[in-house]
Amino acid sequence: MSHRLLALDTTTPACSVAAGEASPLAWRWEHLPQGHSDRLLGMIEAVLAELGWARSSLDAVACCRGPGSFTGVRISTGVAQGLALGLGVPVIPVSTLATLAASAFADGESHVLVASDARKGEVYWAAFERGPTMLTAERVAPPSEVRLPTVAGAVWCGVGTGFSAYPEVLQAPATAIARIHARELPDARYCWSIARAWMDAGSDTDPSDAVPVYLRDNVADKPRR
């Protein structure tokens, strides 16, 4: 069945949007350390205009729901919720880490360790098998605490900014990472692909239930006396 799906992501220093029916046919991606909220709506309108779609023609909205930057996760989920509520369509929230893993699977990898720089000497991380199927829980931890699950015959690829931020730890022989994937930041095209598979399986979410995932309890620094 054909579905008009829009996917968006602002959870890292990248801002991206993808839309399509059978595949993500229109796409925008920009590296934006700041200013996601200023660019996102314009990117959405540009993608819809390229396809000749009105917002009202959308069947669902997908978004990366974190983990990632506190502000970026809020923007991604908040804009997706706002669009979906206004249009009366469902939201499909997708893990940012799963989105990164999907980019490596698209290049032929079978097992992926995603480690994204979480600052404060930590990484957001999880291990995935082609699907993507999550083999570990999503966690935030010092890179020295990252552990690969035991999977017979698996050749592991590393993806994410954690590998450039902490190469001496995450690329050490003990992690058994065979190679590092070139893409460090998520891309809404892969969020779109995961969301489309969930739609085909009959899975979606009411917009009010599409909540951000931060992993940290202290998502914002508290003032010190």
pLDDT given for residue 168 in this prediction: 86
pLDDT given for residue 97 in this prediction: 98
Q: Is the pLDDT of residue 84 over 50?
A: yes
222: left (phi over 0), alpha (psi -120 to 50) or beta: beta
| Domains along the sequence of the chain with CATH | 5-95+186-209 (3.30.420.40), 97-180 (3.30.420.40)
User: Which of the two residues, 80 and 202, has the higher pLDDT score?
Assistant: 80
pLDDT given for residue 157 in this prediction: 95
The size of the chain, in residues, is 225
pLDDT given for residue 209 in this prediction: 81
Helix (H) or strand (E) holding 122: strand 122-129
Question: How confident is the model over 128-181, as pLDDT tens digits?
Answer: 999 889 999 999 999 999 999 999 999 999 999 999 999 988 877 556 899 999
65: left (phi over 0), alpha (psi -120 to 50) or beta: alpha
Name residue 72's amino acid: G
Summarize the confidence of residues 98-112 as an average pLDDT: 96
Of the candidates 40, 163, 146, 150, the one whose C-alpha atom is nearest the C-alpha of residue 104 is 163
Q: Residue 118's beta-bridge partner residues? A: none
pLDDT given for residue 220 in this prediction: 46
The DSSP code sequence of 137-174 is: --EEE-GGG------TT--EEEESTHHHHSHHHHTSGG
Q: Which positions ≥6 away from 130 have C-beta within 8 Å?
A: 105, 109, 110, 111
In this prediction, residue 78 has a pLDDT band, given cuts at 50, 70 and 90, of: very high
In this prediction, residue 224 has a pLDDT band, given cuts at 50, 70 and 90, of: very low
pTM for the model stands at 0.93
pLDDT given for residue 218 in this prediction: 55
Q: Is the pLDDT of residue 89 over 80?
A: yes
Question: How confident is the model over 4-54, as pLDDT tens digits?
Answer: 999 999 999 999 999 999 898 999 999 998 899 999 999 999 999 999 999
Cβ contact 34:138 at 8 Å: no
